[in-house]
Structure 1
Amino acid sequence: MTSASSPTPVSRIRWRRGRVTELGRSWRDAQEMTVEVPGDGAVRALAHPSLVGSPALGDDVLLNTTAWAQQLGTGGYALVVAVPDRLPPDPTGPGHLVKNRYSPLQVSVQGVDEQQTEHHDLIAAAEDLGGMPVVVADLHSALPAVLAGVHVTDPALKVAYVMTDGGALPAAFSRTLDTLTDDLAGVVTVGQAFGGDLEAVTVHTGLLAARHVLGADVTVVTQGPGNLGTGTPWGFSGVTAGEVCNATYVLGGQAIGALRISEADPRPRHRGVSHHSLTAFGRVALGGVTLVAPRGLGSALGAQVEEDLAGQPERNFVEWVDSEGLDEALAASPVTLSTMGRGLAEDRAYFLAAAAAGRYAAQLAIFGLPPV
């Protein structure tokens, strides 16, 4: 109870109530809809049925419109918090890992690393990744490009995806993952992220699960869709890419950095090699990481990338990888490639760099040692 002398708490959520007037696209565990909200009009909204049930036409829904009101790009939906007149049934499945902890929407899932699962003994006994290549990127948009680079090199390689909690927490929010279901060995959500084929407490057990449960030859790790940035070197959710490299090093994997390279980004700090890549891989990844740059960037951008990477610490290696065939692989991706609102034609360098990291990882998986 708030005492007389305590200030009234300031609301951190923009609450609205409205009625569903149209149902839109659905994928994985996500349902788009239009909700008519008094005072706001038609609002673009999203529900995760496993959390709140499946809203139907005419249902009244309770919405969190905070991100919608800010007109955010990736996450600019109003989110359905509840269908108050038609609540879903109580959960009956096993699992005691609580994610989105202590928020009003915390959920319980069964973790691959908890005692009651069939995989607990395997994960408890696993000590390393056996040299598995782990491609680490700071943005979710790199995933389909990395995958294209792996599979154009060897389509038989099994690729797992580990999603960290720097962006979206529900894996179901990602239409990319829905499209890539048949191309991935599986999805592991770690930390506060949830909704993968497997759940894990930490990125460490997530990597071990990718290797030993999913049988991955290569694993890709990024945050979920969206990110949080402040225009400062350290205030970016993707800085944790460096911590993923550290986890990979500790577990005996081979960390490969998918560099964020652009000649189209209007912000100078992201031209050439983004300052976020230089911070995460150059200053946070203390165990060392192989940074992959693609040949074929063009002389001016190639020279800038070479200059940007010249100051890397000795523990990091820079590998220039042949890009032959990567443009075609990217164009053939089942996912419509997009990063910061730019597609393949607008920001080829970004996707080419991610695909080159995937090719390098595939070569490591095939030959076991860095290719000469």
Structure 2
Amino acid sequence: MMRDEGTVADIVSVREGLQIVTVWMRNGELERAVHYTDSLPLLTPGDVVDLNVTAMKLRLGSGGFHIVIAIRDRGLDNHSTPTSSNGHIMKLKYTPLQRSVFAIEEPASPFHSAFQGEMNLEGMPVLLGELHSMLPVVMCWLRYRYQQRKSSDCALGVAYIMTDGGALPLAWSEHVAILEGMEWLKSTITYGQAYGGKVEAVNKFSAIVAAKHAVKADISLVTMGPGIVGTNTRYGFSGLEVGELVNAVYALGGLPVVIPRVSFADPRSRHQGISHHTLTALRLAARCPAIVPIPHLEAKENAIVQEQAQNLQPHRIITMPSPSISEIAEAFSLYPQPITSMGRGLSQDPVYFQAICAAADCATQLHNRLM
């Protein structure tokens, strides 16, 4: 780990569990840092902080932030009380940052007895996405479709499940903070080493079950947090977990609906059409059949995608109407921040967003058939 120190210059923003600050580094540069407030008190200008600068030094991006490790020279009177937990399940275990959480499965939980028996998803659709950027797209599109109906029906209750394939603190996600503030999410669930959800779970199976039986969601959406890892190899990417999630949802009696990562704007050949990430996760890691909605695209693009999809047996390929760009833009207007993926917005990579919206439509249709 590469470390440095800095002095807090200004507080940029504060949300639940997280502060963003600017810090004067020892070299005189003004840079940004993230400070987690679930285990440390709020920062104030003038505080001297120890920083993990590894990602920035290696030019990995990390969202362009250093991470605050500790606050120096704070008197005890200046310390606020960090958030504590009455739970006994450890996350980030056996690291200096390990913390206890109250998991939904543990003996003190009101759901403990339910988790001792077999639990079934009863056909609940579960959307499985590779990229965190798929989260706001799905939620905007579902909200847009709800407003289109102009009926007295309630909007679908969506539980967001964050895996530990990317960022581990849920607080890192600005999208989650926005969606929770808008009350578009019924609940958030974190499992594995990921933490910070309204519901904490030990593994993917209990997290998905909790979405159905504890949160009472109509649909679940599972993606990792921000920060997908890729190595330009067949197996070395974190999105391979989508195949594992297919197996879990299927085993629990749910309907795994994979959101295909589709693009014709990505310059890398392995991500043209249906990304090799989606194809590999479905061909290699998914041992159970999934539903894979594919949008009907313009002729040339459609031929490429349909040919790729033919090699995905035994998965069930469903060709969906492709939402128009104008409709998606209208849906995005409901959201207070620009929505991009890999630095590209709707106008730069329309097919990427059309595929996500088509998958959301498919999941909605599957839910409605259960009612």
Normalising by structure 2, we get a TM-score of 0.91
* Aligned residues of 1:19 and 1:36 also touching (Cα < 8 A): yes
- CA shift, 1:329, in A, is 5.0
Partner of 2:122: 130
Matched, 1:93 2:85: yes
Matched, 1:158 2:157: yes
Partner of 1:308: 308
Indicate the SS of the match to 1:68: helix
Question: After superposition, what is the alpha-carbon deviation per residue over 1:160-192, rounded to whole angstroms, capped at 9, x for unaligned?
Answer: 110000100000000000111110111100110
Return the alpha-carbon distance in structure 1 between the equivalents of residues 353 and 333 of structure 2. Answer: 13
* Consecutive unaligned residues in structure 2, runs of 5 or more: 147-153
Matched, 1:44 2:46: no
Matched, 1:144 2:136: yes
Which residue identity does 1:368 align to in structure 2?
Answer: L
The structure-2 alpha-carbon separation of the partners of 1:92 and 1:259, relative to structure 1 and needing over 3 Å to count, comes to closer
The structure-2 alpha-carbon separation of the partners of 1:252 and 1:25, relative to structure 1 and needing over 3 Å to count, comes to same
- CA shift, 1:359, in A, is 0.8
Return the alpha-carbon distance in structure 2 between the equivalents of residues 191 and 211 of structure 1. Answer: 18
Question: After superposition, what is the alpha-carbon deviation per residue over 1:316-340, rounded to whole angstroms, capped at 9, x for unaligned?
Answer: 0111112346524543341421111
- Seq. identity, %: 37
Partner of 1:206: 207
Indicate the SS of the match to 1:367: helix
- CA shift, 1:90, in A, is 6.0
Q: For 1:261-300, what aligned pairs fall within 5 Å after superposition?
A: 261-295=262-296, 297-300=297-300
Partner of 2:261: 260
Q: 2:58 is matched with which residue: 70, 78, 87? A: 70
Matched, 1:117 2:116: no
Indicate the SS of the match to 1:183: coil
* Count of residues in Structure 1 that have an aligned counterpart in Structure 2: 355
Partner of 2:172: 173
- CA shift, 1:308, in A, is 1.2
Indicate the SS of the match to 1:349: helix
Q: For 1:230-245, what aligned pairs fall within 5 Å after superposition?
A: 230-245=231-246
- CA shift, 1:232, in A, is 1.0
Question: After superposition, what is the alpha-carbon deviation per residue over 1:131-184, rounded to whole angstroms, capped at 9, x for unaligned?
Answer: 100000111111111223333444621111100001000000000001111101
- CA shift, 1:130, in A, is 0.9
Which residue identity does 2:301 align to in structure 1?
Answer: L
The structure-2 alpha-carbon separation of the partners of 1:288 and 1:40, relative to structure 1 and needing over 3 Å to count, comes to farther
Question: After superposition, what is the alpha-carbon deviation per residue over 1:72-118, rounded to whole angstroms, capped at 9, x for unaligned?
Answer: 33443110111133355365430111111112211111111111122
* Aligned residues of 2:126 and 2:222 also touching (Cα < 8 A): yes
- CA shift, 1:25, in A, is 2.1
Which residue identity does 1:365 align to in structure 2?
Answer: H
Deviates more, 1:108-117 or 1:195-204: 108-117
Partner of 2:360: 358
- CA shift, 1:248, in A, is 0.1
Normalising by structure 1, we get a TM-score of 0.91
Indicate the SS of the match to 1:208: helix
Matched, 1:320 2:322: no
Return the alpha-carbon distance in structure 1 between the equivalents of residues 210 and 72 of structure 2. Answer: 37
Indicate the SS of the match to 1:283: helix
Partner of 2:69: 81
Partner of 2:341: 339
- CA shift, 1:29, in A, is 1.7
Deviates more, 1:216-225 or 1:26-35: 26-35
* Aligned residues of 1:164 and 1:223 also touching (Cα < 8 A): yes
The structure-2 alpha-carbon separation of the partners of 1:119 and 1:61, relative to structure 1 and needing over 3 Å to count, comes to same
Partner of 2:95: 103
Return the alpha-carbon distance in structure 2 between the equivalents of residues 336 and 91 of structure 1. Answer: 31
Indicate the SS of the match to 1:83: strand
The structure-2 alpha-carbon separation of the partners of 1:276 and 1:92, relative to structure 1 and needing over 3 Å to count, comes to closer
- CA shift, 1:43, in A, is 2.0
* Consecutive unaligned residues in structure 1, runs of 5 or more: 1-12
Deviates more, 1:90-99 or 1:55-64: 90-99
Which residue identity does 1:149 align to in structure 2?
Answer: W
* Aligned residues of 1:70 and 1:76 also touching (Cα < 8 A): no
Deviates more, 1:220-229 or 1:325-334: 325-334
- CA shift, 1:40, in A, is 6.0
Partner of 1:348: 350
Indicate the SS of the match to 2:223: strand
Deviates more, 1:145-154 or 1:204-213: 145-154
